[in-house]
Amino acid sequence: MSGRRARCACGELQVDLVGEPDVVVICHCLECQRRTGSVFGVGAYFPRSAVTSSSPYRTYSRPGSSGHALHFHFCERCGSTVFWELELRPQHIGVAVGAIGDLGMSPPARSVWEATRHPWVEFSCELGRHPRQVT
Ligand SMILES: [Zn+2]
Ligand SMILES: [Zn+2]
């Protein structure tokens, strides 16, 4: 099994990943735009057992649009969000694709919250496109 390591900007928060993600998802929601400072977020969803970390982190939780909470884990030193847990998808852990830094990652399969996608953002890969969250 291939192994990858996701890390924050300063390197203090590191997360080890085994194998490939089950799905990679782009999210255009305004909350992801604010959280990342970019105009969309990209998350790789791994089975829980494939994700391990012994680094310190802090957690920002917020209610999702579905009413299920989201828990974003970020570096207490540099602030990068590296991974997160969604009550909506308890069997998975989301990992920020940008934190993995591997151009060999599988491309996204879905694009959600296209209702708030910046109109100039387009992708060349095949995508399932959804105006809101997929439940
Ligand atoms: Zn850091
Ligand atoms: Zn989002």
Chain segment 10-33, per-residue pLDDT in tens = 999 999 999 999 999 999 999 999
Separation of 18 CA from ligand 1 center, angstroms? 21
Task: Say what the pTM is.
Answer: 0.95
Measure 132 CA to ligand 1 centroid, in angstroms.
Answer: 31
| Chain centroid, CA 7 distance in Å | 13
Which pLDDT does position 32 carry in this prediction? 96
How many other C-beta atoms lie within 10 A of the C-beta of residue 99? 21
Neighbouring residues of the ion ligand 1, judged by CB less than 5 Å: 8, 10, 12, 75, 77-78
Give residue 2's pLDDT: 64
Ligand 1: centre distance to CA 78 (Å): 4
Instruction: Please state, for a pLDDT cut of 90, what percent of the chain lies above it.
Output: 92
Nearest alpha carbon to residue 86 among 66, 69, 63: 69
Going by their DSSP bridges, the two strands 128-129 and 3-7 should be labelled as unpaired
Ligand nearest to the CA of 99: 1
Q: Are 132 and 115 in contact (CB under 8 A)?
A: yes
Q: Report the distance separating Cα 86 and Cα 21, nearest Å.
A: 15
Q: Give pLDDT, residue 1.
A: 55
**d(C-alpha 133, C-alpha 116), whole Å:** 11
Q: What is the DSSP letter of 116?
A: G
70/68 Cα distance (integer angstroms): 7
The ligand minimizing its distance to the Cα of 78 is 1
CA–centroid distance, 43 to ligand 1, in Å, is 18
Question: pLDDT tens, 102-115?
Answer: 999 999 999 999 99
**Helix H or strand E encompassing 16:** strand 14-18
CATH 2.170.150.70 fits 3-129, yes or no: yes
CA-atom Rg of the chain in angstroms: 14
Residue 13 Cα, ligand 2 centroid: separation in angstroms?
22
Which of 109, 57, 116, 113 lies closest to 85 in space, CA to CA? 57
Expressed in angstroms and rounded, the spacing between residue 91 Cα and the centre of ligand 2 is 18
